[in-house]
Chain A
Amino acid sequence: MSDLQTLYQTIILEHSKARHGAVNLAPLADAVSHGAASGLRVAESHQINTTCGDEVTLRVSLGAGASTKTDAVDSAAGASTDTSVFDLVWAGEGCSISQASTSILTDTLRGLSVTEARALLDNFREMLRSRGKIEPDEEILGDAAAFGGVSRYPARVKCAMLPWVAFEVALIEAESR
């Protein structure tokens, strides 16, 4: 593979067009109250990459315990050992790296416990900032391992990190609700 193909792996180009989880976001206040009625804590974060203008608004819905969508609503209000990422939706625009990263983030983190999601985020960030020194661990990262090539392009690390930073910020906000 050429350097460029390492950066733009097929899965990245596909996700940049498929944009999983991209929606027309309803007003946040509505989502928060609607979520609260189902026992979900909803928050969002808007992040901008000032060097290129890419932006993403990522909305996180936290439920309790359960890790599948179907029964999460029922059990969301119930006591559980760990909060889970119930749903992730987003709106934004930008380069193929930032769009694919957001799409893959929603697939990867949805359904994980908050502890698992944070651990994955830390692993992803460490790998991206390693300037190609840390090989991505597919066992941990899943499809997000495709961004291993990005870590060799310091100018593009921000693009890949954009939605993950939004997730980190929105998560703290949701936990405080």
Chain B
Amino acid sequence: MTFIAPSSASSTAQHRETAQHRETAPLTNTAVERIRNDFPVLHQSVNGHPLTYLDSGATSQNPISVMEAEQEYYEQRNAAVHRGAHTLAVDATEVFEAARETVAAFVGARGDEIVWTSNATEGINLLAYSFSNASLGLGGRAARRFSLGAGDEIVVTEMEHHANLIPWQQLALRTGATLRFIPVLDDGTLDLLSAADVVGPHTRLLAFTHGSNVTGTLNPVAELVALARKVGALVVLDACQTVPHLPVDVKALDVDFAVFSGHKMLGPTGIGALYGKADLLADMPPFLTGGSMITTVNMQTAEFQAPPQRFEAGTQRISQAIALAAAVDYLRETGMDRVAAWEAQLGQRLVAGLAEIDGVRLLGPGLGVERLGLTAVDVAGVHAHDVGQFLDDAGIAVRVGHHCAQPLHRRLGVTASTRASTYLYNTTDEVDLFLATLAEVAPFFGVNGAVKR
């Protein structure tokens, strides 16, 4: 790889300037070109071609302001939070907690309803192990609402990322509860008729994704929440693919818990968040235990802090939390409605273009259906790994494989797929280049009858 100097070395200053008067006009390619100046990593060539980054569904890139926030923290404030009385420790604690408020406000939550985690996967595991502990009797009477045993049912969907499947499989194994799932239809959407049967009187927990990382399907949250409410089940929302891309308000969605990852929303790796309704978090026993999450400790017993500290044992991911808040600032200043509208446009452009390529099958909803700005496809006769290699040779970065969703791929009759996922820094030209290059794949590999119309 060769590095091409970013076209705007002083882009941070520029960004700060533009950020002061927030734009409301819809995003255009011209506006996106300005946004791209804030992302140095995008300005490089790969295999002799300008990098076309279409893998933000896996991990997104960081704007300069995010990297600067992390660096500034280490240069000026680095200290352990919630521990010291010295000035640096006080400063660090303040910016750390301010970051929590920023991220909370971004999803419509209160600060004390946001628990820092390493990523969404850890957030879901935190819930699963807390419920597991409650099932063992930890947390006392208040925690009984989370206790599971034989006869209880946990419901997920067939389209889940493994992160929202395996922790529940394991919880079922530990507690004797039964794991059930809402099936997926041929078009990649949920079978909502079956959902009404699967979610029944024994359902204690309903966990589902807001938007599929494979098909781009957006699930009807209100409808699913209504099913859960009818039977008194708790609702866990995997919002990994939506919080970065759409305006999300956890209160309006009325879910009990939600998780998302920082690195998918312009932030660094190693930071994510769990949202939980205050009254629920208050009754949950801790998962990880140790320093910082306690009040009084004796040799045999300990008392725990109120949430969110109860769930944040040990030294926290301070610089990452602060950088995530900077990412949220960047998204807020750009405007999530504008981001969502732009990506919807890119998503429809992908779907329309894919329909023009023979031998390419789109997994998920077709043209005109509301979806995320990502598409996964099966290229007849060519393995996804080979498709990805061909695209990489043209400088196009996509994800290939099962995207941590083996059951969904199996349901759709494929073992692997090729996924292009967009973000606010992708142009329509990039989408078109991807489509044109994808059309050359089958001829290169000598697959018959796959010539572009």
List the B side residues contacting A4 at CB < 8 Å: 389-390, 393, 444
Q: CB of B7 within 8 A of chain A? A: no
Partner of A96, one of B393, B406, B445: B445
Q: Mark B313-351, 1 if CB is under 8 A from A, else 0.
A: 000000000000000000000000000000000000000
* Majority secondary structure of chain B interface residues (helix, strand, loop or mixed): mixed
Q: Mark B359-399, 1 if CB is under 8 A from A, else 0.
A: 00000000000000000000000111110011001000000
Q: Give the distance in Å from the alpha carbon of A54 to the alpha carbon of B386 in the complex.
A: 12
Partner of A52, one of B47, B390, B393, B400: B400
Q: Which residue of B lies closest to A5 (CB)?
A: B444
Q: Give the distance in Å from the alpha carbon of A12 to the alpha carbon of B209 in the complex.
A: 40
Within 8 A of A (CB), among B395-432: 400-402, 406, 415-416
Q: CB of A156 within 8 A of chain B? A: yes
Q: CB of A73 within 8 A of chain B? A: no
Is A51 a contact partner of B389 (Cβ separation < 8 A)? no
Is A53 a contact partner of B393 (Cβ separation < 8 A)? no
Is B47 a contact partner of A53 (Cβ separation < 8 A)? no
List the B side residues contacting A96 at CB < 8 Å: 382-383, 386, 445
Is A93 a contact partner of B415 (Cβ separation < 8 A)? yes
List the B side residues contacting A97 at CB < 8 Å: 385-386
CB distance from B419 to the nearest CB of A (A): 13
Is B384 a contact partner of A52 (Cβ separation < 8 A)? yes
Q: CB of A119 within 8 A of chain B? A: no
Partner of B406, one of A51, A53, A93: A53
Q: Give the distance in Å from the alpha carbon of A123 to the alpha carbon of B309 in the complex.
A: 56
Is A13 a contact partner of B415 (Cβ separation < 8 A)? no
Q: Give the distance in Å from the alpha carbon of A156 to the alpha carbon of B390 in the complex.
A: 13
Q: CB of B446 within 8 A of chain A? A: yes
Q: CB of A141 within 8 A of chain B? A: no
Q: Give the distance in Å from the alpha carbon of A97 to the alpha carbon of B385 in the complex.
A: 9
CB distance from A146 to the nearest CB of B (A): 15
Q: Give the distance in Å from the alpha carbon of A17 to the alpha carbon of B416 in the complex.
A: 18
Is A95 a contact partner of B393 (Cβ separation < 8 A)? no
List the B side residues contacting A54 at CB < 8 Å: 383, 385
Q: Give the distance in Å from the alpha carbon of A95 to the alpha carbon of B159 in the complex.
A: 24
Known contacts: A52-B384, A95-B386. The answer to whether A3 contacts B47 by CB under 8 A is yes
CB distance from B449 to the nearest CB of A (A): 14
Within 8 A of A (CB), among B143-163: none
CB distance from B447 to the nearest CB of A (A): 9
Q: Give the distance in Å from the alpha carbon of A53 to the alpha carbon of B407 in the complex.
A: 13
Is B386 a contact partner of A52 (Cβ separation < 8 A)? no
Q: Give the distance in Å from the alpha carbon of A8 to the alpha carbon of B390 in the complex.
A: 10
Within 8 A of B (CB), among A151-177: 153, 156, 159
Known contacts: A13-B446, A52-B401. The answer to whether A94 contacts B393 by CB under 8 A is no
CB distance from A116 to the nearest CB of B (A): 31
Q: Give the distance in Å from the alpha carbon of A52 to the alpha carbon of B417 in the complex.
A: 10
Is A53 a contact partner of B386 (Cβ separation < 8 A)? no
Is A7 a contact partner of B385 (Cβ separation < 8 A)? no
Is A95 a contact partner of B385 (Cβ separation < 8 A)? yes
CB distance from A40 to the nearest CB of B (A): 32
CB distance from B448 to the nearest CB of A (A): 10
Q: Give the distance in Å from the alpha carbon of A95 to the alpha carbon of B390 in the complex.
A: 12
Q: Which residue of A lies closest to B383 (CB)?
A: A95
Known contacts: A3-B47, A53-B401. The answer to whether A94 contacts B383 by CB under 8 A is yes
CB distance from A163 to the nearest CB of B (A): 15
CB distance from B354 to the nearest CB of A (A): 21
Partner of B401, one of A13, A51, A153: A51
Q: Give the distance in Å from the alpha carbon of A2 to the alpha carbon of B390 in the complex.
A: 12
CB distance from B97 to the nearest CB of A (A): 39
Is B402 a contact partner of A53 (Cβ separation < 8 A)? yes
Is B389 a contact partner of A153 (Cβ separation < 8 A)? yes
List the A side residues contacting B386 at CB < 8 Å: 8, 95-97
Q: Which residue of B lies closest to A93 (CB)?
A: B415
Within 8 A of B (CB), among A70-115: 93-97, 99
9 A-B pairs with the lowest CB-CB distances in the bound complex, closest first: A95-B385, A95-B383, A4-B393, A52-B401, A96-B386, A95-B386, A52-B385, A53-B415, A53-B402
**Further contacts, 17 of them, CB under 8 A, given A53-B406, A94-B383, A156-B389:** A4-B389, A4-B393, A7-B389, A8-B445, A13-B445, A13-B446, A17-B446, A52-B416, A53-B402, A53-B415, A94-B385, A96-B383, A96-B445, A97-B385, A153-B389, A156-B385, A159-B385
Interface residues of A (CB under 8 A from B): 2-4, 7-8, 13, 17, 51-54, 93-97, 99, 153, 156, 159
Interface residues of B (CB under 8 A from A): 47, 382-386, 389-390, 393, 400-402, 406, 415-416, 444-446
